[in-house]
Amino acid sequence: MTGTAKTHAKGFKPEAKKHLGQHFLHDANVIAMIVHAVDPKPGDRLVEIGPGQGAITFPLLDRHGELTVIEFDRDLIFPLTETARAHGTLEVIHRDVLTVDFSALAHNGGPIRLVGNLPYNLSSPILFHALEHAAAIRDMHFMLQKEVVDRMAAAPGSKVYGRLSVMLQAYCQVIALFDVPPAAFRPPPKVDSAVVRMIPLAPDRIGIDDHALFARLVRDAFGQRRKTLRNALSLVCDGASIEAAGVRPDARAEQLEVAQFVRLANWLRAHDKVLPDPSAS
């Protein structure tokens, strides 16, 4: 063990790395609120993304006894492992979270519960990566930039209701829990943060027949927000098809509920009214 390693294991306060988007949570009240929101029970399979200095990790271990963490920064792995010995059993996966197969983690052990203070520069890719494995996930509790959480949970008609809102709400129940000020982190970010709970929907509640078409439809609909659906979706379908599906062609994307996007995508697929995707050529 090097002298540096010893120091980290005891004090465990390595400097945040800007290029990794690290902001270490230190506010005890916020940490307690997160652990309370997760509320781990016996038998739960907890997986934390980006444990950092262990602000959430060790309280969860104290409460639950076992935890798997996914950490990309190799400098944090030794101090995490050493400090965890006094709290419980910690499994460390040293990988980029976007390469981790969450379904494999849940194999033979039931659905996993994801927790994490996500790096702001990777939050959307991580969210969509988790959605790809939604069938293996029971719920998710994430700390994100407040502006992102506002968009995730936005309702139709809101100025921040958009592609992210529809794509996440089509597959999950999204609940904004509480806001977190910059002072709760070291170093403090330049924006407010918030904690969100996401609960994947059962497959029979999702009801999307063609997931690729649904994603394409939502992407194009919000690609030019000021345009009506007739114009914004001109590369996907024609106005007559939109109307036949029970959706107003003169409406704008932010006026449609998630269920209307699902109905439109399913109708287009069922009636073979989808135009070829020019981006696929």
Which of 181-214 are b and which e, b meaning 16 or more Cβ less than 10 Å from the residue's Cβ?
Answer: eeebbbeeeeeebbbbbbebeeeeebebeeeebb
Tell whether 239 and 194 lie within a shared domain.
no
Which residues line the annotated binding site? 23, 25, 50, 71, 96, 117
CATH number at residue 175: 3.40.50.150
Q: Which two tokens stand for residue 25?
A: 């949570």
Which residues line the annotated binding site for S-adenosyl-L-methionine? 23, 25, 50, 71, 96, 117
pLDDT in tens, 66-75: 999 999 989 8
Tell whether 176 and 266 lie within a shared domain.
no
Tell whether 175 and 215 lie within a shared domain.
no
Q: Which of 92, 80, 94 shows the shortest CA–CA distance to 13? A: 80
Tell whether 141 and 45 lie within a shared domain.
yes
Interatomic CA distance for residues 110 and 116, integer angstroms: 20
Residue at 281 is within a domain:
no
CATH number at residue 255: 1.10.8.100
Q: Mean pLDDT across the chain, nearest whole number?
A: 90
Q: What is the number of domains present in the chain?
A: 2
Q: Contact at 8 Å (CB) between 115 and 48?
A: yes
Tell whether 199 and 245 lie within a shared domain.
no
Q: What is the band of 20 on the pLDDT scale with cuts at 50, 70, 90?
A: very low
pLDDT in tens, 77-109: 999 999 999 999 999 999 999 999 999 999 777
Please state the φ and ψ torsions of residue 132, each to the nearest 5 degrees: -65, -20
Q: Which domain holds residue 136?
A: 3-204
Residue at 280 is within a domain:
no
Please state the pTM of the whole predicted model: 0.89
